[in-house]
A and B are shown apart, each in its own frame.
Chain A
């Protein structure tokens, strides 16, 4: 039985408003073309597939098929809009508990599959598609790098179930040779290590955080509020460049700016 929440699926259904799903993709991907306000938009999310051919990717993890499948779905949109002056918006609905951990995955190059997805999202952004990631649940590590982190703008629901991190707590404790208690104590005092969405927001990577009444199953007003934010984000993208420089503004990223300034001065 799946332990993974269906919130990604719920938000996908609400935002794509019953539009036909794009075929020819792994069953763990939900992709549909619908509208966002006045613009055409492609919505993409990863869902749990208990029958996934790859057993280690049955609970919503991003594995081999998911990485390459996302790449394929984004490539399709880039190709279809190649000669269009207005490129469709890409909305990555993010609820990914982790990448897939398994022998088949490593052997078959899951790193390459995730590179495929990151590559396609980045090329879409460079080609002029406004790419927005909507974080409705977990956005973990390699899974988030493949699905969402290449977006022009990141928007997160302000909810306890929304979490961005490089590694789950148990594994992070083991790798850094700390007890779970020590790790939690440190995480509370060091913003980039924390597991809550407000600490993450303090890093300046999010464009907006949105309070909603029900993050699991959006109410009509939740949906309206999120759509409004997505539309504002697209306008913001259209008024600025195609790079990720808007993420560098926070006090907690002053070293990231200082490094870039010094590099430029010494270049």
Chain B
């Protein structure tokens, strides 16, 4: 392929919607959506608050194959309500992961890939979103006993709130430069802690602390890819071939406590300090 042909064949992943993303990651011709939009299983809570619901509640669940092996993809649509999770969307993800774990207990090696573009709990469904996210956490930890669970934060929404905890539970986490990963959204931190602590309108500052490149350099994620379908696909294949890691990042309490113990927490922090503190023994 000539360079020009290669350039023309490149496809942005970030620009794809949730359904197209899932399709792009499954082996050709194997995509099958569960509870598709024609089922019209929508949020029972939004309409009464004057918010127009969406037929898939912003979550696409697709089964298919990845490198010939059974897989399920849960893709969050960042364009609907900021990718926020309510009762239905949350239950779709939790339920799919629960069935994948059940498959494995029956000898079917179903793996899961989560495409995370989400602000976290949908505040219009507050406590049911939070409950669903707890169930997603439970299901990831359960499934992870058998198969790797892969999280992808491509952008442009990023991954926040309770779903950033879900990202932290994944066996492997893949990000792009567009991605942001953090517990609290910048606006909320500014509201709670003041603009000197966190300026939500200072985009370079926010990316320097929580952007994909920084997270990769700080060993808080496992892979860093360009915004390109083929690259993301190949990274996912690579992680799936590696299988379940011997120790997950979220199982390293002692190591993180030791690192945090070595930090002088008095001065305000900068990105380079985080990299120095966490780099070294990537495991």
Which residues in A have some Cβ–Cβ distance to B below 8 Å? 53-56, 64-65, 68-69, 71-72, 75, 98-99, 101-116, 118-120, 122-123, 125-126, 141-142, 144-146, 149-150, 164-167, 170-172, 174-176, 186, 189-194, 200, 203, 205, 243-244, 247, 252-256, 258-260, 262-264, 266-267
B16 within 8 A of A: no
**B34–A145 touching, CB < 8 Å:** no
> How many residues in B have their beta carbons less than 8 Å from beta carbons of A?
86
Query: Given A150-B138, A175-B187, A192-B125 in contact, is the A255-B88 Cβ separation under 8 Å?
Result: yes
Interface string of B245-283 (1 = CB under 8 A from A): 000111111101100100101001111011001100000
Chain A contacts of B44 at CB under 8 A? 254-255
Q: What number of residue pairs across chains A and B have CB atoms under 8 A from each other?
A: 265
Option from A71, A114, A165, A243 in Cβ contact (under 8 Å) with B126: A165
15 new A-B contacts, CB < 8 A, other than A55-B265, A116-B168, are A101-B198, A106-B184, A112-B168, A118-B250, A119-B251, A141-B121, A165-B130, A167-B123, A171-B192, A172-B126, A244-B134, A254-B44, A255-B44, A263-B99, A266-B34
**Nearest CB of B to A178, in Å:** 9
Which residues of B are in contact with A by a Cβ distance under 8 Å? 34-35, 39, 41, 43-45, 48-49, 61, 63, 87-88, 90-92, 95-96, 98-99, 120-121, 123-135, 137-138, 141-142, 145, 161-162, 164-169, 181-185, 187-189, 191-193, 197-198, 209-210, 215, 218, 220, 248-254, 256-257, 260, 263, 265, 268-271, 273-274, 277-278
The prevalent SS among residues of B at the interface is helix
- Please tell me which one of the listed residues A164, A243, A255 contacts residue B91 in the complex, with CB atoms under 8 A apart: A255
Q: How far is the CA of A215 from the CA of B84 in the complex (A)?
A: 34
Instruction: Evaluate contact between B168 and A174: CB separation under 8 angstroms.
Output: no
Judging by beta carbons under 8 Å apart, are A71 and B96 in contact?
Answer: no
**Contacting pair A145 B130 (CB below 8 A):** yes
Knowing A102-B189, A122-B138 touch, does A108 contact B250 (C-beta < 8 A)? no
B260 to chain A, nearest CB (A): 6
Q: CA–CA, A141 to B184, complex, Å?
A: 11
Q: A115-B250, A142-B165 are in contact. Are A255 and B183 (CB under 8 A)?
A: no
CB–CB A111/B168 < 8 A: yes
If over half of A's interface residues share one DSSP class (helix, strand or loop), that class is named, otherwise mixed; here it is helix
Q: For residue B193, which residue of chain A has the nearest CB?
A: A101
Q: Which of A103, A255, A262 contacts B209 (CB 8 A)?
A: A103
> Do the beta carbons of B45 and A192 come within 8 Å of each other?
yes
Contact A263 B34 (CB under 8 A): yes
B220 in contact with A112 (CB, 8 Å)? yes
Cβ contact of A116, chosen from B161, B191, B250, B265, cutoff 8 A: B250
The residue that A255 contacts in the complex, of B41, B48, B198, B254, with Cβ under 8 A, is B41
Q: Which residue of B lies closest to A204 (CB)?
A: B131
When the two chains form their complex, are residues A166 and B127 in contact, meaning their CB atoms are under 8 A apart? yes
Q: A75-B253, A256-B132, A260-B91 are in contact. Are A111 and B165 (CB under 8 A)?
A: yes
